[in-house]
Amino acid sequence: MPGLTEELVLFLLNEGSGALVGSPRSQKLVIAGSVLMDLQLAGRIDTDLETLTLVDSTPVSDSLLDPALAAIAQSGAKHDIAYWVNRTAEGADEIREQAIARLVEREILDQPDGTGFLARTHRVARGGLYPTEEGPAQDDVMTRVMRVLFHDEIPDPLEIAIVCLADSCGAFSGILSPSELAEVDERIQLFSRMDPIGQTVSRLVRLVEPPKRLDTRTWSRNLPRCRGLPLIGNGLDMAGDALAFFVRQYQELGPVFRARAFTFPYTIVAGEAANRFLLQRERFHLNTGTYVDAFRKEFGATSMILGMDGPEHRRMRQAMKEGFSKNLVTGRLAETVEIVRQHIAAWPVNEPMPGLRACQAIVTEQIGMLAANTSPREYLDDLTYVFHRLMLTRVVIPAPVPLRTRKFMKARARVEEFCAQTLVQHQLRRRERPVDLIDGLLELHRADPVFMPETDLMMATLMPFIVGLDTAASTTAAVIYALLKHPELQERARAEADRLFADGTPTLEGLGELDVTHRIAMEAMRMYPALPAMNRTVGTSFELDGFRFPAGERLIFATTVTHYLPEFFPEPNRFDIDRYLPERGEHRQATAYAPFGLGAHRCLGSGFAEVQIALTVATLLHETVLELDPPNYNIKIVAAPFAGPDKRFRFRLLRRRSP
């Protein structure tokens, strides 16, 4: 069963935000207190009002407790309780993550979608009991603590410790209503006075002051800097193959370095430790809103999912989850295939076609019909132009570049027209059709117009096109390039595709058998990820890789640098689909493979995109024979604004295969 530290983590979990309550510093102190109190309960240490004394140095055989016990045993001098609380707090982040990992492994906690959000599993949340394989089930810590507070039951030492530590960081004010808190406050205070360690933690938390804020204009002076051109700096590198640039600088300068594009400075953080931090601690220290504020304001929206954090972001993800799920594709396989066929039918034979553009046309049509039951075909040029201009001038390089040109305003008006038509069609429901993402957004607006005001509907309606227009299309284009560049893999994938279509319309079971195709796509996403990095702003300062990052600093987490590190992917520049065989499983290394991002903002539509791309590529292989134009073309990645093949990536339709 869970120990004191694990149960404290459970008790401090805010189900609304998916994070632990309390400031980062107070969390460290109470977790340190839980470790010392657990050692006290295990008979390894003892305390009086001020002093902590070693009683037994025998290890507890618990990795949460033994490092602190070893430090106490190795210390030659006597120290007071406050010293050991502060000393243990230095490793509190690692202790917390170990405790969370144990709770997830024991199926007490869950991390849905790999976003870093925490939640009790349904069995614990609804049943109030910890799952167990043998012996009697134990009540959840919340149930037990509430029982001793409200029913005057005699608490055991574990419950006294939980109450004392939780009160230290103000947890009860977020759990109980003011009237409930008043009812049990005397009992909480009684428990809090029972243990010297708990009293010390409370005193230290009260003494905690926010760390002196570093000047964001001067703190970066000690960071390694990338060499660049006069005036331009590293702008050309970052506008080209940004991932290749990040990998080179990481190998030369280390995991944290400073780059500059024209007059705009960037702090880049890369490597496995940075990825792990993003996955585990993003919710405590980082936010996203500042990066997309200018983009959002262009559409008059008060908020958008890409710029939300915390409970609001989690609620919006839940509201949009079904509208971005892979069920949209798996439930309409025939329609998804037919869209590809319609585009193939319009392709000229033996004439070069722009590869990325062809993929954008197919992918955007699929997104429109599946997520919004609306065809965007007539508006593709307008959507592309408006989104690219806004991303490049309001997000990538946030400069006040005027956009009120005649061309932009005309395209923007067309985008607004498309959005208005889509919303009206869904409000009227003039024809029978599947329920989709837009229906869900309108229902959210009707149910809670404060959370989803009318001003935000256009931005939310456009979201699937914003996130899919380039990312899914760029990935599809990269997979096609890989197939055309490696004929032996192309033939193996074509054989799979022919089996998939052997009985006419593909089936879900058949899609699951696209082994070679799936591994080709995974390797293409490793080598040519559409999202090579993620932008964040520091909300609360933190330390990583020996650097302290101040609040307010803007960071680029180059999450896919690990894709090119030989310690994770041997011979990283070689296209090798056998990396993903069960016996190698290189992508299964924690935080090493991140084509869809990491943390709270990991791509919500990743499942949708994986099925969509596999089905699109299989249809192309089954129905066409393509060739690179020219045949010796080697892919060049550019950011425009998302990473993808450049305009020179073209292919020819040599012939259509007989069905």
> Residue 217 above 70 pLDDT?
no
Structure tokens at 137: 């089930």
Residue pLDDT, tens place only, 326-357: 999 999 999 999 999 999 999 999 999 999 99
241, 529 in Cβ contact below 8 A?
no
The CA-based angle 609-612-614, given to 5 degrees, is 105
Q: Are residues 571 and 644 in the same domain?
A: no
**In 3-state terms, what secondary structure has residue 590?**
coil
557 and 510 housed in the same domain: no
Banded model confidence at residue 468, pLDDT cuts 50, 70, 90: confident
What does the pLDDT look like over 619-655, one tens digit per residue? 999 999 999 999 999 999 998 778 999 999 999 999 9
Q: Is residue 586 part of a domain?
A: yes
Average pLDDT of the segment spanning 320-327 = 90
**Any bridge partners for residue 109, and if so which?**
120
Task: Report how far residue 334's alpha carbon sits from residue 221's, in angstroms, rounded to the nearest whole number.
Answer: 57
Q: Count of domains in the chain?
A: 3
Per-residue confidence at 496, pLDDT binned at 50, 70, 90? very high
* Torsion angles phi and psi, residue 8, rounded to 5: -65, -45
Locate 155 and state its tokens.
């608490």
Q: Angle, to 10 degrees, between the axis of helix 333-346 and the axis of helix 355-371? A: 150
128: left (phi over 0), alpha (psi -120 to 50) or beta: left
CB 415 within 8 A of CB 423: no
Percent of the chain residues past pLDDT 90, beyond the cut: 60
Both 361 and 435 in one domain: the answer is yes
Are 390 and 525 members of one domain?
yes
Whether residue 58 is predicted with pLDDT greater than 70 in this model: the reply is yes
318 C-beta neighbours (distance < 10 Å), count: 10
Together in a domain, 236 and 360: no
| The last residue of a domain, from among 549, 570, 597 | 597
In whole angstroms, give the CA distance from residue 442 to residue 447: 9
Question: How far apart (Å, rounded) are the C-alpha atoms in residues 276 and 295?
Answer: 29
Question: Domain check: are 68 and 144 in the same one?
Answer: yes
Q: Tally DSSP H helices, then E strands, for the chain.
A: 28, 18
List pLDDT tens digits, range 43-54. 999 998 778 999
Distances (CA, A) of 321 to 279, 326, 328, 464: 19, 10, 11, 11
For the residues 508-525, what does the mean pLDDT come to? 96
Q: What CATH code is carried by the domain that includes residue 434?
A: 1.10.630.10
Question: Do residue 335 and residue 282 come from a single domain?
Answer: no
Flag whether 216 is in a domain.
no
406's tokens: 């005649």
435: its two tokens: 């329920």
Say if residue 278 is in the same domain as residue 371: no
Provide the pLDDT for residue 581. Answer: 97
In 434-577, the DSSP E strands lie at: 534-538, 542-544, 547-549, 554-558
Whole-angstrom distance, CA of residue 452 vs CA of residue 303: 9
For the chain, the residue count is 659
Residue at which a domain ends, from 575, 597, 619: 597
CATH of the domain at 134: 1.10.3630.10
Same domain, 627 and 489: yes
Instruction: Give which of 76, 41, 345 is closest to 194, Cα–Cα.
Output: 41
Residue 290 maps to a domain: yes
Question: CA triplet 308, 311, 314: central angle to 5 degrees?
Answer: 70
User: Looking at beta carbons, which pairs linking 109-114 to residues 24 or more positions away fall under 8 Å?
Assistant: 109/10, 109/13, 113/317, 113/602, 113/604, 114/279, 114/598, 114/602
Q: Are 466 and 304 in contact (CB under 8 A)?
A: no
Q: Which of 158, 175, 207 is the last residue of a domain?
A: 207
**Environment class of 50 (CB within 10 Å of its CB; exposed 0-12, middle 13-18, buried 19+):** exposed
Q: How far apart are CA 65 and CA 73, in angstroms?
A: 12
Question: Are residues 449 and 395 part of one domain?
Answer: yes
Closest by CA position to 639, among listed 314, 302, 354, 245:
245
Distances (CA, A) of 405 to 60, 410, 411, 491: 70, 9, 10, 48
Q: Where are the alpha helices (DSSP H) in 380-456?
A: 380-391, 406-428, 437-447
256 confidence band (pLDDT: 50, 70, 90): very high
Is residue 340 in some structural domain?
yes
Q: Summarize pLDDT for 71-90 with one digit per residue, the tens.
A: 999 987 788 999 999 999 99
**Angstrom distance (rounded) from CA 40 to CA 443:** 54
Residue 212 lies in a domain: no
In the prediction, which pLDDT does 237 show?
Answer: 92
Q: Residue 474, SS3?
A: helix
- Band (pLDDT 50/70/90 cuts) for residue 285 is confident
pLDDT band at 114 (very low <50, low <70, confident <90, very high): low
Task: Identify whether 97 is part of a domain.
Answer: yes
Q: Is the pLDDT of residue 211 over 70?
A: no
Claim to verify: residue 487 and residue 579 sit in the same structural domain: no
Which residue, 229, 169, 224, 157, is CA-closest to 31? Answer: 169
CA 653 to mean position of chain CA atoms: 38
The per-residue pLDDT for range 566-607, each reduced to its tens digit, is: 999 999 999 999 999 999 999 998 799 999 999 888 999 999
DSSP string of 139-164, one letter each residue: B-HHHHHHHHHHS-PPPPHHHHHHHH
Based on the domain organization, do 559 and 588 belong to the same domain? yes
- pTM, 2 dp: 0.80
- Taking a C-beta distance cutoff of 8 angstroms, is the pair 2, 106 a contact? yes
Q: Cα(392)–Cα(335) distance, rounded to whole angstroms? A: 34
Range of the domain at 34: 4-207
Q: Does the residue 183 lie in any domain? A: yes
Mean pLDDT of the chain: 90
DSSP collapsed to 3 states, 245-293: HHHHHHHHHCCEEEEEECCEEEEEEECHHHHHHHHHHHHHHEECHHHHH
**What b/e sequence results for 257-293 when a residue is b if at least 16 CB atoms lie within 10 Å of its CB, and e otherwise?**
bbbbbeeebbbbbbbbebbbbbbbbbbbbbbbbebbb
Is position 17 within any domain? yes
* Close Cβ partners of 526 (under 8 Å, ≥ 6 residues apart): 560, 563, 569, 579, 587, 593, 595
The answer to whether 623 and 656 are in contact (CB under 8 A) is yes
Distances (CA, A) of 248 to 34, 127, 237, 255, 455: 43, 52, 11, 11, 44
